[in-house]
Every structure is written in C-alpha cells, then in structure tokens.
Amino acid sequence: MDVENYRRLSEDIASAIALVSMRVGRWDLVTPIDSFLDVSYDPPTMAVSLYSLSRAAEALDETGVCALSVLGAEQQGLAERFGEPGLPLQGMLEGVAHQRDEWGNAHIDGSLATFSLEVESSHEAATHTLFVCRVREAWQGPARSALVRFSRRYSGL
C-alpha cells in the first residue's frame, strides 16, 4: 500500500474536531483529536484514538478518565492553539472558559457537546492506542454546528 496515497485520501474524510482533556496531577493536558466515535448507546460507549507515544495517550492510560469536548464551528482557534507541538502543561487552559467534571477534567465552554469518559479497555492499533470508554456524563453545549476538518482545512457544517 502506498502510504502517501492513503494519507492523501484519508484527509478527505470529514471529521469532527474535539478536545480531549485530562488532569495529570495538578496540570491539565489538552489535545485536539479527530479520531473518536460513538460505539454504543446501551451502555453509552465511545472510542478515542491517540498516538501511542504521545503525552495524551500516556496520561489517559495513567488516569483512566478524560473529558471530550466536541468543538463548535466558531472554536477553530482552540483546535489550532492546542494543536501546537510542545505546549507546556503549565497554564495550558489559561484564558479558556471551562467547567470541571467530578474527576477534575476540563469541559470546554461553548462546545457542541461534552462527555466525561472512563477507560474500560485499550487496544494497540498500528501507531495508535484505541481507548474504549464508558460515557459517565454528557452535556449539550450551545454550539449548533460542529468544527470539521476536511482536506487539511477547518470549516463548519
């Protein structure tokens, strides 16, 4: 399989953008993702895919809980901000309006929807780890259109 051809074609799959956040000790770790999905309604279950060697995958493996905030179309700046490589953990959420769930994880204000997730299992898949998570809490946010990435560009639905 030609990897570059696959990469080019897979970038043309429209994906909603979310921020996954975890409380690691006294710090917040926040990263944008586009690889998450609803798995089941009964019981409510989602899957989250993270690069296995990332700080986020390590943190989720360690903490076992996270928050997932599906960004609204007007929140592109947050996706870009948290997508910058090498962001320091200290002050990561400074200036970003958010609420905390009972585990201390940040739910981003203004999102389309937010979920509190608890890891039930994890599975290695190529360079990524798939975390299968039970949805413990869910809230609808004020956004009415999801931020979507298609062909390396952000847009709203």
Q: Where are the domains of the chain?
A: 3-151
Mean pLDDT of 24-29: 91
Residue 123: Cβ-neighbour burial (10 angstroms; 0-12, 13-18, 19+)? exposed
pTM equals 0.93
**pLDDT tens digits, 112-127:** 999 999 999 999 999 9
Beta bridge partners of 74: none
The span from the CA of 39 to the CA of 47, in Å, is 7
What does the pLDDT read at residue 154?
85
Mean pLDDT of 85-101: 90
What does the pLDDT read at residue 88?
82
- What band does 142 get if pLDDT is binned at 50, 70 and 90? very high
In this structure, what token pair is assigned to residue 38?
């609803």
- The percentage of the chain sitting over the pLDDT mark of 70, rounded to a whole number, equals 100
Q: In Å, how far are 76, 122, 140 from 27, measured between CA atoms?
A: 23, 23, 26
**CATH ID of 3-151, from 1.10.220.10, 2.40.10.340, 2.30.110.10, 3.40.30.10:** 2.30.110.10
